[in-house]
Amino acid sequence: MRLHLFISGIVQGVGFRAFTRRLAESYGLRGWVKNLKDGRVEVLVEGDEEILFSFIKDLWKGPKLSRVDKIELLREESDEPLYDFRIEY
């Protein structure tokens, strides 16, 4: 399953991308995370459905200085293979 997430709140300048990458790697997920110009964080993530929803539940916690107000979730078709989880700039 592949999901596209848009995370709003205090999620830039607080280590949220690094947190997301470590979390995704701990779950064995593939994809990427990046900051958006509008202050949100965008995540494309792929893996087992049950694991993905555990990952999202943990994203709500975020790193210490963050605050997640909203996670928009879109289900996507897999059009290109993902092999690891990385931070994009």
Catalytically annotated residues? 17, 35
Of the candidates 69, 85, 89, the one whose C-alpha atom is nearest the C-alpha of residue 21 is: 85
- CA distances in angstroms from 12 to 8, 9, 32, 49, listed in the order given: 9, 8, 15, 27
Q: How many CB atoms lie within 10 A of CB 12?
A: 17
Residue 5 amino acid letter: L
